[in-house]
Structure formats: C-alpha cells, structure tokens
Amino acid sequence: MTFNHLVTTLRSALRWEGQPVRPYVHPSQYRAPENVRLYSDGMHKLYEPSFLTLAISVVTLGLYVGVPHILLALLAFSWWRPAAITLGLLLVSLLLPAKPLRLPSVLSSYVFLCWRRYFKFSYLFEKSLDCYQDYVIAQFPHGAFPLGALLGGTFMATEYPGYTCYATAASSAFYVPIWRHVHAWLGTEVCTKSNFHHLLSLGVKGPLPHRHHHHNGPSEQQQQQDEPQLSSSHSGKGTPFASAAGAAAVAADEPAVSISSAGKQPLPRRRSLEQLLQSHGHAQQHSQLSLAASLRARFRHHHSLSDTESSDSESDAAEPRQGLLGRRLSIASNASSTACTCCSTCSGCSCGTQQQQQQSPQLRGHSSAPVRLGGLSSSGGSTRLRHAAPSPAGAADALLPPPEAAGPAGAGWRLDPATGGRKTGVSVGLMVGGIAEMFMIRRDHERIKLKDRKGFVRVALEHGVPILPVYMFGANQVLDFGPPWLQRLSRRMRASVGMIYGLWGLPVPRRLPIFKVTGRPMDVGPAMRKDHPDFAARVDELHAQFIEEIQRVYYTHRGKYGHGFENRPLVIC
C-alpha cells in the first residue's frame, strides 16, 4: 500500500458526512412514491457510512440506550464523590417539567442523522398521506428498545417539517434521567388516554365537543390566545369580521351580543351546554370563512388594478386551481407596500412599473396585531405583501380556500393562528405492544401483542381519525432484552425490569437495516361517542379489520427487507 493510497483511505474513513440539501416544499405538495422502498437522507442501496459516522453512532447509541447501565454504575461507585454528585444532578433533573416541545434543532440534529445512516434506514408508503388529515399511527414491533419509532419520527420531522407528528411512550421512560427530556424534546408524552385525546385535539378536527381536557399544552394555549385575533374584531365600523358571540347568536337565531373591551355580555341561561358548543363551532367556522372571503376580495381588487377590462368573474374563470387549498396566487413584496404589476411572480423586478396599492376599507380598523394568511400580512390598518418560502418551482405561494369552501361541504379546513395559512394535520404514534413486546423477541418468528389492545381503536373512533398500520422490519433484531423470567414482574410494575444488550454484551445496537413500512390508512368512518349503543361493536369490528391489515402489510413487504424474513412468520398474541 502506497502512502498516497493510505492518505486517501484515511480521508474517506474520516470524512464528515453533512446534512443533505432539502429544498422547501409546501405541505400541500408533500408526496412520496407509493409502494417504492426509499432510503432516507440521500442514501442509496449500496451506501456505506464513513468510519467517523460509525464511531459517532456507536458512542452516542451506547450512551443513550445504556442510560440505566450508567445510573447503576454511578450508584455502585456512589462512595466516590464525583460519581455521587453526577448521580444527584441526574436525579434532580427529573424535577424539571417534560412537555412535548418538538424542538426542530433536536429533531434535525446530526446525531439522529448518523443513527439513520448507521441502520441504513429506509421507508415505504403504500399510499401518499394527506398533510391536512389527522392520523393515529399504530406501530409494531416495540423491540427491546423503540429505535424504529425514534428513527421514523426524526426522519418525518426533517423530511416533512410542515407536518406535526407526536408520540406517546410508557410512563416508566419519563422516570429515567436524560430519556425524560429527550422524549419531551422530540414531542413525546406519557401514553395515557387523556394525553392521547389532548394531542389529537391539536389537529385539524380540534377537541371533542363532549370531552373536557384537564390540561392544555403550549400549542393549544397559544391557539386559544391567538384565535380571537382571527375570529373577532375590535370595536369599530366597517370591519367584515363578525365576533364569535355575534356569529353564535346568528347560528342560534338570537340577537347578536356585542363584545367590548370593558366587559362581556353574559350568555342567556336557557341555552344548554350542547347548544353552546354547537354555536361556538358555527362562530369559529363563520369567522374563518369571513376572513378568507374578505382577503379573497382584497386580492381580486388588487388584480383588477392592473387589468380594468377584465371582470371578477372572468378572472375567476381564467385562474388556475392547484393543490388541496384551491387557488395559488403569486405575489411580491417590498418595503414601501407596493406591488409590481408587470408580472405575476417577481423578486426585485427591474422593470420599474409599480403601482401603489389601494388600501381596502374592509381591512381598516382591524386588530393592531399582525395577522398573516398565506402571503398576506395585515397590521394596524395597512396591508403589505410578502414573499412566501420558495417552492421547488421557484414561485411564491399564497394559498387561500376556494370560493366553494363557503358551503357546508368545504367547511372542513381550519386556519392556523401561528402561520395564518391552512392548518395541517397532526399524527399521534404509539407502540401498541408496549413493554410486553420487549419479552417477545424470538429467533425464528416475529411476535407482536395486539389481540387484547383496543384502546387506540377507541380513541381513533371517537375522533373519526384514520389509523395507519406501521411495521418496522429489523426492530426486533438490533437489541435483546432479558432475562425472560422478569416479564411478569415488569408487567406488574409497568416498567421494563431487565437488561438491554447488543454488540459485545453492551447496550450498543447491532448494525442491521431498519425498514419502516406504512400501510394504507384504515378509515374508521364518522366519529362516534363512547355512549353510543353501537360503539363497542364498532370497536371490535375495526380491531379485527386492523389485525388483518397489519398481517397483510407484513406478508406483502417482508420479501423486500430480506435477511431471512422471506420465511419468517408473524404471530399475533
């Protein structure tokens, strides 16, 4: 081996594999090839990570998976002062709150990128998902450690950042230092029924009208604070935004009740709780549609300035419609609140043909807080246009609901107070088998726990949310857990009592591919209340249907994974 060849080999082994370039894609255009196995983060079938990537993965995976081992070692050496201080600080960190934050800097960190390359993470979608739909993700198997769910969650957050995916985990994981806070940073909550309902209530459909949530997360509290800015107006004339109380009174055929800064008019006592909830839904829907209609009228007025000969009806007929939201408007922005009329999409156009925007009297007197919808920004009675984030085609998008959304059939969308655009859906994932599957790892077959697990079906049916069957090939093979005789004690304590081990008997996962397959969304039909007489029968029917679906997903795609899975059966307990 020559010296130059040695230097080249060392450079290749120690090369730094950076983050792949991901161009901005609007959530409405999230698409994945169906029934095609793809490798994440720019990898391909013959990809091999560098030695540096492998070293980072082995060290960080060993430290993260081996947190219980480290705590036991610190406890054993607690007579040594540094070990005692470190153990005390770790235990004190459990007093810090663990809210599902979903920090982008953590989800897209380089460590998780190395982990996905270490396992050569790949994925497959049987059907491309709708970003404006909520989902319940039922994942199998749990394995000795839920690495498959961890890799899949971080990948979705980096590849599809506009879609929100939460997760639930066993309560015992939140009593372990470091695990507790990493789970919170990734957007994970304790797997309880109330938390499951709470996370789904952050989605498109919102909270159940007949259910009271005892706690509100940061996102929901912010939404409750921001929604009045979109649905109600300050005292003043000429504003097209009806207040929530006024819309509710109209929906209930009662006189409108005005709301002022001095105080609120109490609602009539004769109205029942169900009527109040129903009127609140009408008020929110009415205010959102009024906002969209007024902004649509503002855009029509702006385009009519550049072409006075074309009428509004002709403009509507000539306008192309794209995407899920209806029409796509290309807009431009500058500091002097002027828009270029020479072209539809320009960024710093040099033609010099500019026309001063005429302020719409409908938007005067609105809240002084800025309200954004798509590419429009309104603040303090003045209106300006801004560039949306660039799409792959290079155009700026301002997406508004189509005019037909004013009818009952098009009223399913909601506005996102944070962005002003259409609210995207929320997915909530859970490991259905849980701790029980940690003791079900076998060498000759796959085994999952499902026959007596119906809680996720009940929650999905209550919200009317589709269920995604997900199977992660290879999740049972990267780590082992034991000894088996501790299974009964673990289930009683609702905690994993045992040792996790992999390479060399250490908590370092074996380097095997992990292949995540997402089946077709299973429709549960319209939402159904728990007190409905047919609720239990419907849950049993959907549960049996889901068992058949997860079996179909497994046997259809096990050949694509290889590694002996072609003849490996699936046993459902």
Q: In 182-222, which ranges are E strands?
A: 188-190
Nearest to 427 by CA among 131, 25, 186, 103: 131
Calculate the dihedral angle through the C-alpha atoms of 442, 445, 448, 449, rounding to the nearest 10 degrees.
-70
The DSSP H or E segment spanning 326 is: strand 326-329
DSSP string, 415-478: B-TTTSSBPP-EEEEEESSGGGGGG---SSSEEE--TT--HHHHHHHHHT--EEEEEEETTTTS
Residue with tokens 């082994």: 13
Residue with tokens 């828009």: 339
Measured distance CA(262)–CA(239) in Å, rounded: 19
Measured distance CA(386)–CA(347) in Å, rounded: 10
Measured distance CA(472)–CA(448) in Å, rounded: 12
Q: Please say whether the beta carbons of 296 and 373 come within 8 A.
A: no
Coil vs helix vs strand at 119: coil
Q: What's the pLDDT at 249?
A: 35
Query: At CA 207, angle to CA 204 and CA 212, rounded to 5?
Result: 170
234-256 residues labelled b (16+ CB within 10 A) or e (exposed): eeeeebbbbbbbbbbbbbbeeee
DSSP string, 235-299: S-SS-----HHHHHHHHTT-----EETTEEPPPPTTS-HHHHHHHHHHHHHHHHHHHHHHHHHHH
Q: What's the pLDDT at 228?
A: 34
**Residue type for 462, please?**
E
Q: What's the pLDDT at 338?
A: 37
The predicted-structure confidence for 63-78, as pLDDT tens digits, reads as follows: 999 999 999 999 999 9
Cis peptide before 483 (omega within 30 of 0): yes
DSSP string, 395-431: ---EEE--GGGGSGGGTT--B-TTTSSBPP-EEEEEE
Profile the chain (573 residues) by mean pLDDT over runs of 10 residues: 73 81 86 92 91 94 94 94 94 89 90 96 94 94 93 92 90 91 92 92 84 47 39 35 35 37 41 47 52 55 45 40 36 36 39 38 35 35 36 36 36 67 89 88 92 94 96 95 75 74 92 96 94 94 96 95 93 94
Bridge-based pairing of strands 446-448 and 426-431 is unpaired
- Per-residue CA distances from 289 to 28, 96, 420, 467 (Å): 20, 42, 13, 29
Q: What's the pLDDT at 286?
A: 52
Nearest to 156 by CA among 428, 392, 417, 419: 428
The DSSP H or E segment spanning 126 is: none
Query: CB neighbours of 131 closer than 8 A, spacing ≥ 6?
Result: 27, 28, 30, 160, 162, 163, 324, 424, 425
Query: CB neighbours of 398 closer than 8 A, spacing ≥ 6?
Result: 299, 328, 329, 330, 331, 373, 374, 375, 376, 388
Q: Please say whether the beta carbons of 461 and 542 come within 8 A.
A: yes
Q: What's the pLDDT at 295?
A: 54
- Per-residue CA distances from 457 to 139, 431, 527 (Å): 13, 13, 12
Measured distance CA(86)–CA(93) in Å, rounded: 11
Bridge-based pairing of strands 259-260 and 263-264 is antiparallel
Measured distance CA(459)–CA(247) in Å, rounded: 31
Measured distance CA(306)–CA(343) in Å, rounded: 10
Nearest to 148 by CA among 132, 137, 163: 137
Measured distance CA(305)–CA(568) in Å, rounded: 68
Q: What's the pLDDT at 415?
A: 77
This prediction has a pTM of: 0.68
Q: What's the pLDDT at 224?
A: 41
Q: What's the pLDDT at 119?
A: 96
Nearest to 430 by CA among 227, 191, 101: 191
CA atoms within 13 A on the CB side of 262: 3
Query: CB neighbours of 207 closer than 8 A, spacing ≥ 6?
Result: 197, 201, 213
Assigned token pair, 428: 């909530």
Q: Please say whether the beta carbons of 276 and 268 come within 8 A.
A: no
Query: CB neighbours of 503 closer than 8 A, spacing ≥ 6?
Result: 509, 510
Backbone angles phi, psi at 552, to 5 degrees: -65, -45
